[in-house]
Structures are given as C-alpha cells and as structure tokens.
Chains A and B, each alone.
Chain A
Amino acid sequence: EDKVVQSPLSLVVHEGDTVTLNCSYEVTNFRSLLWYKQEKKAPTFLFMLTSSGIEKKSGRLSSILDKKELFSILNITATQTGDSAIYLCAVLYYNTDKLIFGTGTRLQVFP
C-alpha cells in the first residue's frame, strides 16, 4: 500500500534554532513531492520537488529530494514564532492530481 511517513510527529524549539523535517515515501507512479504549511485551515504551498538532488530554496526554508532513497527533507533556519504550524508532505501521482499526504509534523517555536 502506498504511504508517506513524516518524522518527527512533533517538534518544539526556540526562536533561532534550525530544524529539519523528514518525509519518506513508498508510492507507485511517483511524479513529484510537495511540501505544505498548515497554520489554521488551508495548507499553503511551499515547494514542489521532482528531480533528485536539486535544492529548492525560499528565504529561510529549503528542501531537497532523494529519489533513490525515497525521502525528502525540509530545513528551516533561524526559526521564528511565525513558523509554528503543521508541515505536510505529499506525493503527487502521475495521470491524476491525487496527493497522498503524511500525517504532518507539528512545529512549535517559542520565543
């Protein structure tokens, strides 16, 4: 059965810390891996990764995909309280727009 597993499930850090969130997957017909940030309701799109080894970067956030080992990481440097959210990893299938999500990592950043 296809699955996406995220770790850790929960993370508590202080402002300024650097965090690494993990996402591994076992999915047939893999097309891309996507990261989302969910604060209250709507998941907000962060990155889409299709090729191995190419880092995507946006401000303090960066992400990379390893298609051989079937995992991705999301790094957040110099964390701020506004980074507190649930971070969701999802895999996109070929031929549909279906996403299969992990359970998410709840990040709490304290001042």
Chain B
Amino acid sequence: DAGVTQSPTHLIKTRGQHVTLRCSPISGHKSVSWYQQVLGQGPQFIFQYYEKEERGRGNFPDRFSARQFPNYSSELNVNALLLGDSALYLCASSRGGGRGPEAFFGQGTRLTVV
C-alpha cells in the first residue's frame, strides 16, 4: 500500500503570494489532518477533515484554509504568504471515526517564503 503522499516536496514563494499544498491519504483512510512544523519545534495542528467535513481547526489566521475531496485527498491553501509561514507542512491520515486513531504522516512539503 502506498503511504501518505504530499506534493510538492519543496516550494519557494515570494511574500504576498498564494500556495496550494496537496495530500493523498493512505487507501481506506478517511481523515486527513494538516500540521505546520517550524525548525526546532513540534508540529502544530492546523486543520482536520473527516468525510469531507472540517472537524477541527487550530490557532491559525484565516489566510489558511483547506478542503477535502470525495476521494479523501486534501488541499491546504495559504494566502498572502508571510516570511513566518516558512515551515515544513505535514499531512497525516488516519481511519477516523474511532476506527484506529493512529496517524501516519507524509514526507511533508518544505515551504520557503522569501
């Protein structure tokens, strides 16, 4: 089985631009969560989606948005990029719905804002 796949792996953007990050969960997993990890810190929760509905939102500004598609893949969008948005963005998938909460992570997208 393929693991969690994220694209792109690396990205360089300019301040003020918009970025879209993509995630495909493990087959059979219906829950996708997004995390931001800055250097030297643990991942910080941004969003969780289950069955295409938002189930949780972290303490991030409205510039951050996400959605989940019928095939359970997900996109994270960030508008009006700031230098401080530079980080590793991780996607995690799990079965959801109480059927095995272990989350499995993708390789991440390294976003650099210049």
Contacts and interface: CB of A to CB of B under 8 A. Distances in A.
Overall SS of chain B's interface:
strand
Contacts of A103: 40-42
B18 interface: no
B43 A99 contact: yes
Sort chain A's interface into a size bin: 20 to 34
A76 to B, nearest CB: 19
A104 B35 CA distance: 15
Contacts of B110: 41
Interface string B76-114: 000000000000101010101000011111111010000
A101 B33 contact: no
B50 A88 contact: no
Interface residues of B, number: 29
Nearest to A95: B55
Nearest to B46: A98
Contacts of A104: 41-42
B43 A96 contact: no
Contact of A97 (B4, B88, B101): B101
A97 B94 contact: yes
Nearest to A47: B102
B1 to A, nearest CB: 14
A89 B104 CA distance: 14
Interface in A14-36: 31-32, 34, 36
A96 B88 contact: no
Contact of A43 (B43, B45, B101): B43
A100 B108 contact: no
20 contacts: A4-B42, A36-B105, A41-B90, A88-B42, A90-B42, A90-B43, A93-B56, A96-B48, A97-B31, A97-B50, A97-B55, A97-B92, A97-B94, A98-B48, A99-B33, A99-B35, A99-B92, A99-B103, A100-B45, A101-B35
Interface of A: 4, 31-32, 34, 36, 41-45, 48, 88, 90, 92-93, 95-104
Interface of B: 4, 31, 33, 35, 40-45, 48, 50, 55-56, 58, 88, 90, 92, 94, 96, 101-108, 110
